[in-house]
Chains A and B, each alone.
Chain A
Amino acid sequence: MALTLFRGIQSRPLLPRPSTFITRKHVFFCSMQNTQTETTTTTTKTKQQTHSNFTETPRAKAVEKVLKDYEAIIGIETHVQLATMTKAFCSCAYSYGSQPNSCICPVCMGLPGALPVLNSKVIEYAVMLGVALNCKLSLNSKFDRKQYFYPDLPKGYQISQFDIPIATNGFIDLDLPLEFGGGHRRFGITRVHMEEDAGKLLHTGSRSYSQVDLNRAGVPLLEIVSEPDMRTGIEAAEYAAELQRVVRYLGVSNGNMQEGSLRCDVNVSIRPIGQLEFGTKVEIKNLNSFSAMSRAIDFEIARQAALYNQGQAEEIVQETRLWEEGAQKTVTMRKKEGLADYRYFPEPDLPEVIFTEEYVNGIRDSLPELPELKRRRYEEMGLSMQDVLFLANDVNVADFFDATIAKVPDVKLAANWIMGDIAAYMKNEKLSINEIKLSPQELSELIASIKSATISGKIGKEILLELMEKGGTVKGLIKEKDLVQIVDPVEIEKIVDKVITNNPKQLEQYRGGKTKLQGFFAGQVMKESKGKANPGLVNKILLEKLNAKN
């Protein structure tokens, strides 16, 4: 990421003070740069990684062992950055990776006299997510100020929601991947509330000062707090993955963990099985992928269990720990000295958020089909759980699949094509399903052609590759390359006759009892027909002919 020094924008008219450096002695977020390094991984890959980690690393095994004696309690706070055109309270457009302090205005800089005005899209998105997470929506909610001092917080307070969040008491359903034993889970959602993001501190190499980038300040967030329902790292990672799926299905966020559009802070505590009270919880930050989440939680469970086992349970203190990707462990970031007093009070600059039941119903009716419903529907179609999970994982894949089966309702064939050749092609070429040139209509056309025996499966595969690479229509290709299957028995008979006459030696051997040669003849026939002969008919006629003279 190209970082422009804050100093470089001194001439920006909005900045009354050029120097916004602050000293960094006690700044804690020192390793935030790490977040930029990881490459994008698809959720599928993450799952596979998670899987491999879970079974292969000794730590995971240790966790398995630990979980016989202890129970881990895991709750997750997720921040979802909303993909609104403008920020929550001003008209700045925000895009990830812009030059520092290029997406700012008096409002998000917290200049004296500037006032926030709520972007109505934020409410819409919050209601959408609230409905999607089966929450109870507060028709009358309000914004509050959460007050603390930090250089990346321009106003000295964050506009958030405190006692009346917009949505409460929901749940999320998910299916664990088969690798992890499968199974359906329902995790509770305590609350969903709206808030604004803070800026970012950029720590310079010289370490004598830090710089403030306020681009992100004021970007709308939804904070989703789960019930402490998760018990393992896998469950936690799956919860986050499902949340990502939901926000992507809804289109309220791109859910990109690497860009920080989806941030998870995990609270972990363990207690001996049978104990009722919770243990001391530890918060883990800096989790940039689902696999990191799972590994960090497993590490933390093992660490805490070890302390329990050594009789040092009191060393587990309430603190915030940082996941270090390189060392694969968590380290203390800051110890909480009592409960921070954020001195919440209602935000007087913003009116209360009031909407009607009709508004909610309108949004409910316009919601797209959510992952859980989609999975249930696919399941009912008769697809295997593995297929269901794969197809429903990515909203685009699911849409592709749905569009494909809309015309030719052979779900199994469509699923196989998508999960087989198309997925492999996408993986090799590193493309998403929207980027390949094949349209779902053509795929269904292809499936239909194969089903109606217009072309053979083999030819289908060839055409598919061409369709994905270059585009075009199935019909066009078939016509262009003269690929229509030969289904006329008379014609096939002619070819068979020809092949038999051309290979008297083999015929002799066949008739001598070497019946395996049937395959040879079939191959010759196919070759003669340039693969267009219907294999069933070929075999049938070939057998007849070969065995006739007997």
Chain B
Amino acid sequence: MLSSVQNPRILLLHCRWSKPLHHHHRHYPKAIHAAAQAQAISTSSPTSQIQIIQKSIHSREKTARQFAEEFINRLRLTEPHVKSFLHVSETVLNEADEIDRKIDRNEDVGPLAGVLVAVKDNICTADMPSTAGSKILENYRPPFDATAVRKLKESGAIIVGKTNLDEFGMGSTTEGSAYQVTANPWNLECVPGGSSGGSAAAVSARQCVVSLGSDTGGSVRQPASFCGVVGLKPTYGRVSRFGLVAYASSLDVIGCFGSSVADAGILLQSVCGHDKLDATSSKREVIDFTSQFVAKDYLESQPLKGLRVGVIRETLGDGVDQEVVLSIRGAISHMEELGCIVTEVSLPSFSLGLPAYYVLASSESSSNLSRYDGIRYGNQIVSDELSSLYGGSRANGLGPEVKRRILMGTYALSAGYYDAYYKRAQQVRTVVQKSFKAALDEHDILISPAAPSAAYKIGEKKNDPLAMYAGDIMTVNVNLAGLPALVLPCGFVQNGLPVGVQMIGAAFDEEKLLRVGHIFEQTLQGRLAQHLHLLINEMNVDPSISDRRLRRPQGCTPMMKSRHYTIEEWDTKPIRKIPSLVDLCVQKAVDNVRYLGDVGETDFHLLERFLPHCTVEQLMHIEDSTEDRDLSPVTDKLWKNFYVLQFGANSTNVVVERMKEKRVSFKWRQLYEAKVKDNEEAQQKSFERIKQLYKKENAKKQSRQVQLCTKVPPSTNKRGFWGGGPSSNIGNTKSGIMKKAKLEFLNSREVKNLSAMKKTNFQNNQRVSPIIKKPSHFPGKSSSTPSSSKFSTATSTARRF
């Protein structure tokens, strides 16, 4: 379940794929259904999104346009919160249509056909601005595509947009962007990591299928760890740097993000290879990485038997978060179970890498960034003198972190200091390379955390560059040595944020890394599924086994705990420390519940876990957008709870009595909605009355020619459920994020959702005629209302983008 916990959305997606037999399938043709089953049921592991898309569009079971719409709709909904994109393409749907047409004509569409790829904004694209996150390149459009982008397009991929980054890739939080701060989809108050924070967040929030980033000192791996996605930094030279806006040329590599190892591997496959436009790109032949991805069922009991794994001792010592260490240790014992021979290995030069990296990277960047002088492109200030033109354009255009590094680099390269800094750092680099070489001669892969901590709060390290630099300690050595490394999620820290494990391989041996990573991912998933079954069985036997509670994420109120019983009884038989995974992923589903829509095939046990966390609107939205399935077994008691909360226990008892008398089977939702409607009507009436009174008063006053206050009373009716007293209790039960979400909802009234709600309400008419006029802020399932949603999508497009 590893990568499924990357995001609640994908968790549900996987549940859907993995349990296809439980529910009937809406529109899958039989043949493809069998094929999908063969894969989905058997693995129940992080499925390659790319493979799913390929299968679906080629079998015409789903069109590329449908996939594109799905992602684009989610992008629109999540983007205001996550802010991972600097530019979103307007032609995504057209390109998807083009792919559909090509498929209809049986033309070759390429291995990434219909796959939405986001590209870090420091990678040049001819049809979109490429700013590298800097003001000095604001609105700059390169005349050419980067080689990686060109290859993507040739493979049929759809470039969905350009993702946010620290200016020129200099930073570890994405706060260094000149345009916006990207949030971590796991916790919007946290940083997504950097510099490829936008690309990592976009994959994590499922705004795109896969994305390209760049890794100079860990800029792919650290955000992958922070955002709980898979990040792959290939060997230096494996992917052409042509079109990558240079930060430190001898360290820069274009890397891949995906929600599974397979996705990252497939993406790498299509962008790598020699390029005659990049003299440093390798001429080595590229092997087929994708053939590595064997489904779990075909794996032996110890699929990694004999694999020599070295754990870098220095990376689990002082200065590393103990919870991170625990997660890594968990991953290590999992690898042992897979048959690996795990030993500790010491790299004494490890701590030297960080200072050497900052000297080399700054030196090269001071040179690489000289071209931004405002003469040929980029923002130029008006000046009547050359040196002030240079000075002014650069002072205006470049951000503080960039200036800091240019100054450091200029200093390090100055006459008289060159030997002490640059040359010395190069010597360290050689030492680091040698020590890695030696360690990799004795081990197949090396293991370390991807970052010394999980994601931290936005702003926490912004004014402390040294602390931020120190966070790169796990990753920079790999860049200095030019080796490939794979980061994939392996656990969580207390507050529910993901932790990634870094696997380092020998130069140009991405193949092995991907194979090991894939097996690791698949089998960890299996274990979790086991745990899940165990849990479910236990719950069936005795629903209140234990008081042992998981440590709750911070910000959970006691009330939430009291209602949230089902989850916390689990973990009675801890097989190991990390299995809090499932809980945490459920917790993430809860925290991000507003991204949910159709939960059609999700297991009831899972629903029982997170639905209690929903607000009225969320629950309503989920129920309404879930087709062909009655959620009432789970939700009925929740609606009862809401009823009690909203209208008091007395009123509830009265209703229960009344219903018993009438011997009617009823659903609490209907009752709730009816009651709400009654209340609203009553409110409306009283409001009308007050208005009338005011009018009368006004008329009187006017007649007396006395000007009095003409203020309109506050429109209480518009504030609905949470405006009044009782509902504030519900509000209090939610974390800060939910409050935020509510506020955002209050401010945004989507035509689309309004119409979706209307339609749904109409469909639900036979229950109770609902009177909810308030539009939901949750994404509606567009397929439920084909005609209206089409229209509303168009309108929302026009408004938002």
Contact = CB atoms under 8 A, between A and B. Distances in A.
B413 A343 contact: yes
Contact of A23 (B123, B130, B389): B389
Nearest to A149: B390
Interface stretch (A9-17, A58-66, A241-249): A9-17
Interface string A107-120: 00111111111100
B451 to A, nearest CB: 26
Given A23-B386, A115-B278, A117-B279, A151 B241 contact: no
A471 interface: no
Interface residues of A, number: 42
Q: Most A CB atoms within 10 A — which of B277, B369, B414?
A: B277
Interface in B335-391: 363-364, 366-367, 369-373, 375-378, 380, 383-387, 389-390
Interface string B250-280: 1000000000000000000000000011111
A22 interface: yes
Nearest to A90: B277
A15 B377 CA distance: 8
A26 B387 contact: yes
Contacts of B389: 22-23
A341 B415 contact: yes
A457 interface: no
A67 B246 CA distance: 55
Interface of B is mostly: loop
B276 A113 contact: no
Contacts of B413: 147, 343-345
Contacts of A19: 380
A16 B279 contact: no
Contacts of B248: 348
Contacts of A339: 415
A353 to B, nearest CB: 11
Given A106-B144, A114-B242, A147-B370, A26 B279 contact: no
B370 A113 contact: no
A112 B124 contact: yes
Interface stretch (B134-142, B552-560, B591-599, B643-651): B134-142
A349 B237 CA distance: 11
B717 interface: no
Given A25-B385, A149-B370, A109 B249 contact: no
Nearest to B279: A117
Contacts of A16: 140-143, 376-377
A130 B659 CA distance: 104
A17 B373 contact: no
B253 to A, nearest CB: 13
A406 interface: no
Interface in A143-173: 145, 147, 149, 151, 154-157
Interface string B386-427: 110110000000000000000000100111001000100000
A116 B278 CA distance: 7
Contacts of B372: 112
A149 B137 CA distance: 19
Interface string A308-342: 00000000000000000000000000000001010
B245 interface: yes
A151 B142 contact: no
A111 B380 contact: no
B143 A348 contact: no
Given A156-B370, A351-B280, A112 B132 contact: yes
Contacts of B487: none
A140 to B, nearest CB: 16
Given A16-B143, A26-B385, A154-B376, A112 B137 contact: yes
Given A113-B243, A157-B367, A151 B279 contact: no
B101 to A, nearest CB: 29
A16 B379 CA distance: 11
Contacts of A76: none
B159 interface: no
A20 interface: yes
B146 interface: yes
Contacts of A212: 375-376
B124 A113 contact: yes
B244 interface: yes
Contacts of B385: 23, 25-26
Contacts of A24: 386
A212 B374 CA distance: 13
A106 B363 contact: no
Contacts of A154: 371, 375-376
Contacts of B369: 156
Contacts of B364: 345, 348
Contacts of A22: 375, 386, 389
Contacts of A351: 279-280
A350 interface: yes
A27 interface: yes
A22 B140 CA distance: 19
Contacts of A106: 142-144
A17 B415 contact: no
B143 A13 contact: yes
Nearest to A152: B375
A354 B276 CA distance: 18
A149 B369 CA distance: 11
Contacts of A17: 376-378, 380
Given A154-B376, A348-B249, A112 B367 contact: no
A422 to B, nearest CB: 48
Given A25-B386, A113-B124, A117-B276, A20 B375 contact: yes
A156 B376 CA distance: 12
B367 A156 contact: yes
Contacts of B415: 339, 341, 343
B146 A116 contact: no
Contacts of B390: 149
A111 B422 CA distance: 26
Nearest to B411: A343
A15 B378 CA distance: 11
B285 to A, nearest CB: 19
The 10 closest A-B pairs by CB, nearest first: A156-B370, A348-B250, A348-B249, A343-B413, A16-B377, A113-B243, A112-B245, A113-B124, A17-B377, A110-B371
21 contacts: A14-B143, A15-B377, A17-B378, A17-B380, A23-B385, A24-B386, A109-B376, A111-B143, A111-B376, A113-B144, A114-B144, A115-B246, A115-B278, A117-B277, A117-B278, A149-B373, A151-B373, A343-B415, A348-B280, A350-B279, A351-B279
Interface of A: 13-17, 19-20, 22-27, 106, 109-118, 145, 147, 149, 151, 154-157, 212, 339, 341, 343-345, 348-351
